[in-house]
Amino acid sequence: MKKPILLAVDDDPQVLAAIDRDLRAEFRQDYRVLRVNSGPDALETLRELKAKEETLALVLADQRMPGLEGVELLTHARQLFPDAKRVLLTAYADTEAAVRAINSARLDHYLMKPWDPPEQLLYPTLHDLLGAWQREHKPKYNGLRLIGFQWSPLSHELKDFLSGYLVGYQWLDYETSPEAQELVALKGYQSTDLPLVIAADGTVLPNPDKATLGKHLGLTRTELQAMYDVVVVGAGPSGLAAAVYGASEGLKTLIIERQAPGGQAGTSSRIENYLGFPTGLSGAELAHRAWAQAVRLGAEFLAPQEVAQLCVQDGYKVLTLVDGTEISTKAVVLTTGVSYRTLDVPGIDRLSGAGVYYGAARTEARSCDQQDVYIVGGGNSAGQAAMYLATYACKVYIVIRGASLAASMSAYLIEQISQTDNIELLPFSQVKEVCGQDHLEAVMLDNNGTMEKREARALFVFIGAKPCTEWLAGQVLCDTKGFLLTGRDLVTDARYKTAWKKGREPFLLETCVPGIFAAGDSRAGAMARVASAVGEGSMAIKFVHQYLDE
């Protein structure tokens, strides 16, 4: 972290050198000392420091300077850096003007020249002033900052993206934060350029998409190997497990993820039934640990990036990315997971990302402080989200069509929900419409046959499971719901027998294309549990070895 700055200004070279010498001798351990030899140059320096978002602790300026006197310079300094301490250096003849300036220019102090010895006439005063500044100073956040509008879907998308990769950032709402408005103007941008990402190194990214932001964060690789042993498509629990085992067993392994690691599990606020974590852990934490583990073992990651097409050429598999890049590999493990089904009611498309969210959307929890939120769905993900949101929201309503949660939610979550005062279950209920202009304001609820309009700050949707396999149409065999068929399903069901052409039976997790495997929630018959997904991902690598040894 950069040290705060002490700025000394005097047009007399000898006096300026003496100020610089004395300040450095006493304060250089905790501060940086800058010196400027004229008022106009000092004002320009102040503006540059402001543009660079430097921290200014004190300005020490001589009164009698041509072009811009000390009092006037310190007045400008107060406008640019209102928290910095301002001290006027003056001769005995200008004492009266200095005293008047304490009121008119809001000076903190004035010092007489000469100040020899500084141990008695300079340092005590400056130590007092800097001590007061330190007590009041709030250090500027030096990490990545995201400035946008609370109800902007793109702002929400970037917040989720950064959180998914556990990138620390500061969120600033342009409409409510004067700091955000000042920063945007300071960087030379306008509200139309939002969302705006300001990196720790000062780089500004206006209106970035996830790929641009990922490239800046170093997530997107620019060099890829000519041939991989195995490419894993999707970085949910099964994909991360496949990457860990593939890399640890010496396979040239690449994993491609279009959003953030963890899949649906990565958005869970608390997973309490995963083996080995008796106090539970968040989905993001689990995903980050697995991600770090795979990288340490030698797996390569490409994210955020999406595969558009998969084809087979002379036994090798060729993956074509959305940007046209082609990746060749000997084997593929498909761990594309599932996504939540959309809620088909009036207004849903218009307000998606602006109060209506699919999944936990943990980044929006704080904005729900002391307001009512609604959750649609009765699975474990919905229950975990309800428990997390209950720490912020005034009331959390869980909307389900059935009579209870028993058929779809784990017993430990049902018990926790029943013991949480501000969570209420609404059985035999459905959301029929979402209302609002530029953001969600209310939901129209059919509550056991009675229609009513209720105010709502946010609506979180957790319904159904739609496999992310559309891009594989015509290449790999799926069932009628889009889930990937593997193993014995390809040879025992008469409808699919002709799809398997190889002389041997398919391996347990092998699709109708030899060397292409499926694991996790997108596979037909999967258990939809984190532990089973991890198990399938690791099992898939065993079958990859067997395929490569043929």
> Tens digit of pLDDT for each residue in 479-490?
989 999 999 888
Shared domain for 79 and 182, answered yes or no, is no
Phi-psi map region of 361: left, alpha, beta (phi>0 left; psi -120 to 50 alpha) = left
**DSSP letters for 181-214:** HHHHHHTT--GGG-SEEE-TTS-EEES--HHHHH
Same domain, 316 and 451: no
Residue 537 inside a domain? The answer is yes
Give the residue from 178, 193, 216 where a domain finishes. 216
Reply yes or no on whether the pLDDT at 311 is more than 80: yes
Whether residue 54 is found in the same domain as residue 116: yes
Question: The pTM is what?
Answer: 0.78
The answer to the question of residue 223 being in a domain is: no
Q: Cis link prior to 195 (omega < 30° from 0)?
A: yes
Query: Which of the 8 DSSP states describes residue 245?
Result: H
- CATH number where 203 lies: 3.40.30.10
- DSSP characters over 131-183: HHHHHH--PPP-SEEEEE-TT-HHHHHHHHHHHHTT--EEEEETTT-HHHHHH
End-to-end CA distance of the chain: 56
Does 396 map to a domain?
Answer: yes
- Using one digit for the tens of pLDDT, what is the confidence trace for 128-177? 999 999 998 888 788 899 999 999 999 999 998 998 888 889 999 999 99
324-372 pLDDT, tens digit per residue, is 999 999 999 999 999 889 999 999 999 999 999 998 778 888 889 999 9
Would you say 204 and 51 are in contact if contact means Cβ atoms under 8 Å apart? no
> Would residue 100 count as lying in a domain?
yes
- Quote the number of domains for the chain: 4
Domain of 329, CATH number, reads 3.50.50.60
* Domain identity same for 440 and 363: yes
Contact criterion met (CB below 8 Å) for 156 and 364: yes
Find which of 134-148, 444-458, 491-505 is predicted with most confidence, using mean pLDDT: 444-458
Alpha helix ranges (H) inside 262-400: 263-266, 283-297, 348-351, 380-389
Q: Residue 170: which domain range? A: 144-216
Q: Structure tokens of 474?
A: 């015509």
Q: What is the mean pLDDT of residues 411-439?
A: 95
Residues 401 and 451 in one domain: yes
Instruction: For residue 473, name the pLDDT band (cuts at 50, 70, 90).
Output: confident
| 15 and 126 housed in the same domain | yes
In a domain, 34, yes or no: yes
Kindly state whether residue 23 falls inside one of the protein's structural domains: yes
Shared domain for 444 and 360, answered yes or no, is: yes
Distance CA 466, CA 461 (A): 13
Question: Is residue 397 situated within a structural domain?
Answer: yes
Q: Give yes or no for residue 93 having a pLDDT over 70.
A: no
Same domain, 17 and 114: yes
Same domain for 91 and 176: no
Which 3-state string (H, E, C) describes 15-52?
HHHHHHHHHHHHHCCCCEEEEECCHHHHHHHHHHHHHC
Q: Are residues 289 and 253 in the same domain?
A: yes
- Same domain for 13 and 130, yes or no, is yes
Q: Which of 426, 461, 496 is the last residue of a domain?
A: 461
> Which of the listed residues 136, 168, 186 is the one where a domain comes to its end?
136
Integer Cα distance of 281 and 277 in angstroms = 7
User: Which CATH number fits the domain that encloses residue 93?
Assistant: 3.40.50.2300
Q: How far apart are alpha carbons 416 and 238 in whole angstroms? A: 28
